[in-house]
Structure 1
Amino acid sequence: MHDKGMSVSQIAREVGRDRKTIRKWLGESEPAMYKRHTYKPKKIDPYREYVLRRMSEGCVNATVIFDEISEMGYDGGITQLRVFMKPHRQAAEEKATTRFETLPGEQAQVDWGSFTVNWHGHKKRIYAFVMVLGYSRMMYLEFTENEKLETLMGCHVRAAAYFNGVTATCLYDNMKTVVASQDDRGKPIWNERFAAFATHHGFKLRRCKPYRARTKGKVENGVKYVRRNFWPRVRTFTGLDDLNRQARHWLDTVANVRVHGTTHQRPIDRYPEEQLLPMNTVPFESAERHLRKVPSDALVTYETNRYSVPYQLVGYMVEIQDERNGVILFFHAGKLVAEHTKCPGRHVINKKHFEGILTGGKQKVPQPIPRLIENPAPEVMRRPLSVYDRLLKEEVVR
């Protein structure tokens, strides 16, 4: 090719080799002789089978495997182990993340999704809490105003009520409301309050690896399913409470009764096999509550709106708990006394809160009756201006 006038670059493209290789060959007087490569035994050889088996089980951490084979007698370096593991790592990771299955009742996965809505003429972001049971693929969905810690804990309580129990563990990504930070060894340092909440209700916290959110692929796919299947069905809604009613209907009639693409069974059919743990019936003080004194009209103010409570509580203190999902709860002495749908810019009144109001004679307070006023303003005598001019002149003369 070179003798016929082809350049080094043209020859390299034609034969599929680097230009440096072509120049090297052109500088030789004759082709190099074939040399048989002899394999040199490596210290890792006796442990190849064990390493491959551990990788097939989902362990792709070279440091962990190095410690294990060192105890078995391996006296080589960790670099040799990493070189051996490298070509097998991708297949092992894919198997560990996409084919990982859990036993009934063993694990649930949690994640957030964000959605944009037209909120009274303005764009507003709302959030979707999604929990998926790892074995059955049963799903819980709830829309909220934010992703704060109190909201997260409230969603867990309502999800447990929907599932009628909790799994032994719950898997999260590195959301700050769950994972505060990590130590020098990379182990998570849990949010103290959320860890206490989990302990109170009997489940353990698990974290997927940093930058490896696909290890919680079940719930990741769940969020995508909500976005592609439920969200296009929503045309209008009156508030988060109404949106969550639509979401619950979708869960019960679509999401949890369709044939799942991985299990090839309906989640509702696999659900009876879940061995869920009972949730602690003693409430964990998870929500931020706001104290208010009940005024004489029994309408309590919260965020510029007014909500009714039973008239018997006039003069007493009540606690307001905003669930951030379109529902507001009112407590007195630890007991729920009122529940309202959050409606901005309105007075929200439950007529039952005013039933039985009695007068001093134990008679029901009558409805106010409008009083007719025949002459709402006094009559004014009209006089010509000349009369006032004459009176003014008389006053000046005096």
Structure 2
Amino acid sequence: MAQQHYIKYLRDVKDQSISQIAEQLGVSWRTAKKYADCSDWNKAEPPLRGKFPIMEAYRVQVDTWLMEDQARPKKQRHTAKRIYDRLVTEFGFAGSDRTVRYYVAKRKSELQIEKSEPYIRLEHPGGEAQADFGTFQAIIGGQLVERKMLILSYPYSNAAFVFVTPKENTECFLEGLRQLFEMSGGVPNRIWFDNLSAAVVSVGTDGNRKLTDEFQRFALHYRFQPVFCNPAQGNEKGHVENKVGYARRNWCVPLPVANDLEQLQKIMNQQALEDLRRPHYAKEVLQQDLWEQEKIKLLELPIIPYEAFRLESVKANGYGEVLIDQKTVKIPSIRSHERVWVKYWWDKVDVLNDSYEVLITLPRGYMDESVPVDLQTLLQPLYSKPKALDYSSVLAFLLSQTKGFLQSVEGKSRKTRIGWIIRMLKTYQIEEIERCLTQEDQDDVSRLEHVLYRLRHPEIIPAPMKDSRTPSVFVGYQPDLTRYDQLQRTEVRK
């Protein structure tokens, strides 16, 4: 600023020419001219940022993802990096990562979406692992479900493997560890855990832990040393904490879609293997190479795998029913008050007789649990931006006729239909709307509401009454009403 002031002084006070000023100060003629003849020294406003012309073609997609995130769990929402990766992979986006970050930050601020918290990196020697559960949502068989991911992470190589399970009970926990060891091709020497109830019965004041018998047998079978964090100090296993968050943000956004739990597990396995191909975040070496080095330090798998189950003796009631997972279930071929064995696996239940012969096998009650989907909330942002429907994950929750009803039109017509669906969902179930759209012409939206009412409240035609008192000669008799004309007075006019 001092040089600019001096240039102005030489021009106005010393009356020097532009060329003289430029030569004396060693600046260009253009610079000398700019400040010598400047008449407006007000502070310039910062340049506007946020036009994002390259994002113009992708605004609808990105805004749709961000709006849908508001109905998702906080830890399973899009980050700017995930949005950039999806734009490149799914739409061939040619812009920079920085442009996407600027745009997403601006839109998140406008939508009042919270920013993700930073994570802490920790280092550990090879051959050790950390285990932890995380919760995520997925779409299985068209239903929104909440599932658990048990992650076994290896801090040295940053490798991680995932087991998808419905619950965090002992059977799911031990079966998950068994399968994770098999995915790893070996057993870690030491594994860090939380004080989860599936392994720890209690923590004494001196820090000593009483472990469950089942977990102790499992640890002896696979020969690893369990290490437990101090209470409320999950950061002591910070690597797996970070990995759970990373998996949710990168492997579960958008929501994974599968036909069943087995297919969902395959999807997560593929994600974990592909993740090994990226460079380590700090060592500048491929994680795959580091993992090959670390695998050598793992213990060999036992020849006989551990079978994780819980066996209970249960007495049937007077109706031949037994209590399984807090629900009364009718078991064929057993007598009233007979005792049977109930064998709980992580995904199924075997009912056995006294000779341990399987009488019936049932799925665990939680295998089909789903999360209610608030379609009104998911559809509401699309009412103002109907074009975004084609890129929205809400399509996965719509039945075929309803999906076609919305996608078969565009512009104002689509907006009208989305608004109609939102309004009808206040009174009717989506299955009722689907049935209505299956039976009726979809073009006349004004008529559909009456059809919905008729489907829910069908016309009731009472059955004919049985009359045993009326003489048979009069049954079905139809009177001749013209005979009543004789009763009319006849006037003769002259």
* TM-score, normalisation: structure 2: 0.40
* TM-score, normalisation: structure 1: 0.48
